[in-house]
């Protein structure tokens, strides 16, 4: 589907997407070289991952990249046959991607997906089906690259616009300097024309000079740009979508050099137009001791000065607005107190902690050990840490809520936490109570919601004791 072939070995088979046969793994080239010293006999060897053995069946090409993924190991997305049945309702978040046929379009794919959704709607519970029908739920199809960079695209376009304005300011400034220099050479070019030089000779001389000037500047700029790109990682660009692929390459260098040549041609055009005047006598007169620069030359210079100041004003205004916006964003409360909060990640091997009670017992022991450490005021476990880019969104059916026709369906972020999560994050309570460790051992499912959730579904009412349904589960607030 991605058009990728393994460097050697193979990819997964359909049978290996079943739990019983899913103990296989494909390595990236970097992992193969760093952990197996590029051993070509690695196929068929077993490696232990989270307490389970997996057989190596393939190694990827060195140039393989999938968007912003930093994965080093790839496993089959395994499931049981009953989980793949049309009537199955699984609470799972995956990214669905597809390659269109050469003669297919996005509109065709959208039509097919709409028909598929209509067919699947027949198997949904009536409450969920009614909610989806009233809200006009629809699956939208986007190009993969456009969807991946959608969140940062507007900002990047603004930054590119600022860079273009900066380039125009420099270009206008340089053209103005070249005009001043050309004014001092009017007599020289007039004498050349008087001695028989054609207009194309003058144009060629100016064109060569400006292209050489722009080319030298482009080469110097490439050096500065190469160093600047290497320093971008300090600013955290690797955290942006496709940020790890920001690099200096031969294509970048070729594009920059071609741009420099085109800029040189653009610089030459006003200079050539200024020098190629039909009347030579006035031009010679302006260059004697008593002559002054012609009004036409002055007006041209003044026009470029005005353009330069106008562009600079636009660029400075935009930079100022960006600065003010950033300052206001930094003042917005994230909803918790991040000061003095430490985070870490832990993974539990399914082979040893596959049972829910086993995982719960480990978490409780771990939290008890952390809470007694010197300097720790509270400790908690959460499936998601704020601002890490991880989320888990799901549509729900709230108790007593009737959606209006045409209203957009809402998906809500949710995560699992231990009882001290809100104390550790410094989050206040408006009504009701926080979760407690004892809730993990009760049959009744409970949760804590935020004010936006409560006001949307139960405005001006008490949300305590209400219920909402995700997929087939029922949860009390």
Residue 284 binned pLDDT confidence (cut-offs 50, 70, 90): low
Q: Write out pLDDT tens, residues 33-44.
A: 999 999 989 999
Residue 343 binned pLDDT confidence (cut-offs 50, 70, 90): confident
**Quick one: pLDDT at residue 474?**
46
Tell me the whole-structure pTM to 2 decimals.
0.63
Domain residue limits, the chain: 1-85, 153-330, 350-476
The answer to whether residue 92 scores a pLDDT higher than 50 is yes
Q: Write out pLDDT tens, residues 399-416.
A: 777 777 666 667 788 888
Residues 6+ apart with CB under 8 A from 309: none
Mean per-residue pLDDT of the chain: 81
Q: Write out pLDDT tens, residues 316-328.
A: 888 888 788 878 8
**Quick one: pLDDT at residue 459?**
86
Q: Any idea what DSSP says for residue 290? A: T
Residue range 293-299: mean pLDDT, rounded = 66
Residues 6+ apart with CB under 8 A from 460: none
The answer to whether residue 291 scores a pLDDT higher than 50 is no
With residue 55 as reference, give the H or E element that holds it: strand 52-59
**Quick one: pLDDT at residue 58?**
94
Distance (Å, whole) CA 210 – CA 265? 7
Task: Give the pairing of strands 397-398 and 24-27.
Answer: unpaired
Residue range 278-295: mean pLDDT, rounded = 53
Distance (Å, whole) CA 391 – CA 412? 10
The answer to whether residue 47 scores a pLDDT higher than 70 is yes
Residue 431 binned pLDDT confidence (cut-offs 50, 70, 90): confident
Residue 277 binned pLDDT confidence (cut-offs 50, 70, 90): low
**What Å distances lie between residue 270 and 1, 207, 210, 294, 379, CA to CA?**
52, 11, 11, 16, 69
CB 215 within 8 A of CB 257: yes
Q: Please report, to the nearest 10 degrees, the dihedral formed by the alpha carbons of residues 105, 111, 117, 118 taken in order.
A: -170
């Amino acid at each position: 589907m991605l058009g990728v072939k393994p460097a050697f070995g193979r990819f997964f088979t359909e049978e290996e997407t079943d739990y019983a046969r899913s103990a296989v793994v494909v390595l990236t080239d970097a992992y193969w070289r760093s952990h197996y010293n590029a051993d070509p006999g690695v196929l068929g060897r077993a490696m232990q991952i989270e307490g389970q053995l997996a057989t190596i069946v393939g190694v990827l090409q060195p140039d393989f990249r999938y968007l912003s993924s930093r994965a080093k190991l790839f496993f089959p997305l395994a499931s049981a046959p009953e989980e793949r049945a049309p009537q199955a309702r699984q609470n799972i978040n995956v990214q669905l991607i597809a390659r269109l046929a050469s003669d297919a379009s996005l509109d065709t794919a959208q039509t097919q997906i709409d028909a598929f959704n209509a067919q699947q709607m027949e198997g949904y519970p009536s409450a969920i089906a009614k909610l989806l029908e009233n809200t006009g739920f629809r699956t939208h199809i986007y190009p993969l690259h456009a969807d991946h960079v959608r969140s940062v695209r507007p900002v990047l376009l603004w930054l590119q616009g600022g860079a273009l304005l900066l380039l125009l300011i420099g270009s206008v400034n340089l053209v103005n300097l070249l005009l001043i220099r050309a004014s001092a050479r009017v007599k020289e070019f007039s004498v050349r024309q008087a001695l028989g030089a054609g207009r194309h000779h003058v144009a060629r001389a100016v064109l060569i000079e400006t292209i050489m000037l722009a080319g030298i500047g482009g080469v110097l700029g490439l050096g500065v740009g190469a160093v600047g790109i290497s320093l971008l990682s300090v600013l955290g660009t690797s955290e942006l979508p496709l940020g790890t692929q920001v690099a200096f390459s031969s294509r970048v260098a070729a594009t920059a050099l071609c741009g420099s040549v085109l800029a040189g041609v653009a610089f030459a055009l006003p200079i050539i137009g200024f020098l190629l005047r039909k009347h030579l006598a006035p031009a010679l007169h302006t260059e004697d001791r008593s002559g002054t620069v012609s009004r036409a030359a002055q007006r041209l210079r003044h026009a470029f000065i005005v353009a330069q100041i106008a562009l600079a004003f636009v660029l400075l205004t935009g930079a100022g607005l960006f600065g003010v916006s950033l300052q206001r964003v930094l003042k917005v409360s994230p909803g918790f107190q991040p000061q003095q909060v430490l985070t870490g990640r832990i993974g539990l091997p399914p082979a040893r902690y596959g049972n829910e009670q086993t995982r719960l017992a480990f978490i409780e022991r771990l939290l008890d050990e952390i809470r007694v450490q010197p300097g720790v005021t509270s400790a908690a476990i959460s499936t998601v840490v704020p601002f890490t880019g991880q989320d888990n969104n799901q549509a729900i059916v709230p108790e007593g809520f009737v959606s209006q026709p045409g209203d957009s369906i809402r998906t809500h972020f949710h995560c699992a936490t231990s009882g001290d999560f809100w104390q550790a994050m410094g989050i206040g309570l408006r009504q009701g109570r926080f979760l407690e460790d004892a809730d993990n051992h009760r049959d009744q499912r409970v949760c804590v919601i935020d004010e936006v959730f409560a006001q949307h579904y139960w405005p001006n009412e008490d949300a305590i004791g209400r219920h909402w349904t995700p997929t087939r589960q029922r949860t009390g607030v």
